[in-house]
Every structure is written in C-alpha cells, then in structure tokens.
C-alpha cells in the first residue's frame, strides 16, 4: 500500500486535512489495541501501521501534541485533560469523545486504522461501535497484549519517547542509535511525565478498573485475540501477525 502516513489530521484535528492516499483498500485493517500501560501498544501499532498501511491513531498522542503546541489553556476541558494525564488518571469520557467527534473522518478512512488508547472505557467502546455502524464498517480484530505487572514496570522505567515524531525507544531493549536522540528526526528523547513512578501506579489501576472490562465486551463478539507481549518488539509483532491469522 502506497499510503503516505500523515497523522496531522488526527494529531491536530480540524482544520488539518489528511493528505494520505490509500490505494489498496482491500488490504486495510481496522484494529483496536488493548493492554496495560507499558505493554508496548505504541510500538506494535507502528509496526502494524507500516505493514497494513492503516493509520496509527493514538488518543494519548493527541493530548501530548496539544500540550506540546501550548494549547493547555485553549479550553478548560483540555486543561483538565492534561492535568489528569500528568497524574496518570484517565481523561473524562466527555472530553475524549469530543476529541473523537472532531476526528471521525480518520475513523471512516478507507485505509483503515490502528486504534491505540481508544476505546478505554465501555461508554467509549459503545460510541466507537455506533460510529462504525453508521459508516457501515466493522472492526477486524481487537488485540489484547498481555504482560505481568513487574515486567510492565521495567518497560515503562526504561521508555524514552520522541516529543516530535512520537517514536518510542527503550534504553535496554530498543536503544536509539545515538543515545538520547531520535533515530528518525534527531530530536532529544524525553521521559513522558506520566511515565514517572507515581503516575505509573495510577495508570495501572485505571487500566484494571476501566479498560480491562473491555476484554469481556469484545470477547463476546469473537473479535478478541490475545498476544503474549514478552520478548523483543519483533517477536511480539510476529506473534501478532500469527494471532491475527485470517481475521479481517
């Protein structure tokens, strides 16, 4: 698929317009990634996106982009969202769904999508369902990445992120070629504020309370595939492709 990944429509919302040209809609996938914070959803989303041409849609990246562009004070809802995010709490459904409503063209894209971080609650999943139903689209699979808690904490502790192109590294298992600098765009890598130890515990708790119930929600529809997230990103990706099988 000759899809130019152009996430500005997703990251910035309107009036940014997507320039991507999906040329092989038959190949496209509509996937949702689930898994506790630190499990590696962002890394796998990037691999899946490169393989299937479907755009990587991360709600966390939307909030981080808003902060980076200095939009904290543009609305009380966004300010509240970024405060909650720093503490490791979930942003309210109301604000998340407002962000999604502004970006429904991304969800209706003929090139498909890899949703990373949305839905995170049952009400969010209901809205996604309703939207896809309206567009006459279906999800191909929901991939649940699974890893024991101690391993999750180690992964988050070593995570480094590019604030510009959002690439994700790990100091031990996926170091950048030049320490501290992004391989893709050269920007200085950072530790996300919500990767600090206090916020990490809050995030794990929020996942168990709000997002884990989605496993049952999607299992009932026979769309759920489980993937063991131990090992290198490449090993996990190979497992993902096997688990997806002919789901589409």
Query: Which residues contribute to the site for ligand AMP (CB under 6 A)?
Result: 37, 58-60, 63, 84-85, 88-91, 96, 117-118, 120, 124, 194, 203
Range list of β-strands (E), the chain: 29-34, 55-58, 112-116, 141-146, 159-161, 168-170, 224-228
Nearest approach in angstroms of CB 235 to ligand AMP is 22
Q: Find the catalytic residue in 7, 155, 160, 192.
A: 192
Q: Which of residues 3 and 200 has its CB atom nearest to ligand AMP in the complex?
A: 200
- Largest Cα separation within the chain, whole Å, is 47
Q: Is 188 a catalytic residue?
A: no
Estimate to the nearest angstrom the gap between the alpha carbon of 154 and the chain centroid.
20
Q: Is 84 a catalytic residue?
A: no
**With contact defined as beta carbons under 8 Å apart, do 145 and 236 qualify?**
yes
Nearest approach in angstroms of CB 26 to ligand AMP is 29
Q: Which of residues 89 and 98 has its CB atom nearest to ligand AMP in the complex?
A: 89
d(CA 91, CA 120): 10
Nearest approach in angstroms of CB 27 to ligand AMP is 26
Nearest approach in angstroms of CB 95 to ligand AMP is 8
Q: Find the catalytic residue in 7, 29, 30, 41.
A: 41
Q: Find the catalytic residue in 7, 159, 160, 174.
A: 159
Instruction: Catalogue the active-site residues.
Output: 41, 120, 159, 192, 203
């Amino acid at each position: 698929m000759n899809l130019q990944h152009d996430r500005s429509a997703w990251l910035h919302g309107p009036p940014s317009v997507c320039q991507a040209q999906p040329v092989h809609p038959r190949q496209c996938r509509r996937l949702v990634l689930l898994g506790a914070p630190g499990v590696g959803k962002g890394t796998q989303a990037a691999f899946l996106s490169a393989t299937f041409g479907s755009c990587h849609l991360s709600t966390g990246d939307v909030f981080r982009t808003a902060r980076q562009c200095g939009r904290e004070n543009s609305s009380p809802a966004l300010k509240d969202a970024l405060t909650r995010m720093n503490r490791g709490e979930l942003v309210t459904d109301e604000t998340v769904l407002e962000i999604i409503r502004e970006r429904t063209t991304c969800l209706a894209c003929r090139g498909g999508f890899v949703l990373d971080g949305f839905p995170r609650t049952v009400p969010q999943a209901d809205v996604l369902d309703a939207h896809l139903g309206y567009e006459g689209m279906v999800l191909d699979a929901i991939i649940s990445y699974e890893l024991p808690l101690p391993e999750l904490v180690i992964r988050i502790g070593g995570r480094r992120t590019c604030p510009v192109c959002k690439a994700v590294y790990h100091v031990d298992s996926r170091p950048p070629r030049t320490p501290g600098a992004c391989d893709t765009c050269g920007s200085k890598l950072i530790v996300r504020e919500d990767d600090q130890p206090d916020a990490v515990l809050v995030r794990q708790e929020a996942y168990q309370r709000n997002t884990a119930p989605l496993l049952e929600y999607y299992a009932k529809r026979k769309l759920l595939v489980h993937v063991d997230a131990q090992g290198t990103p490449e090993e996990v990706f190979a497992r993902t492709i096997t688990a997806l099988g002919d789901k589409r």
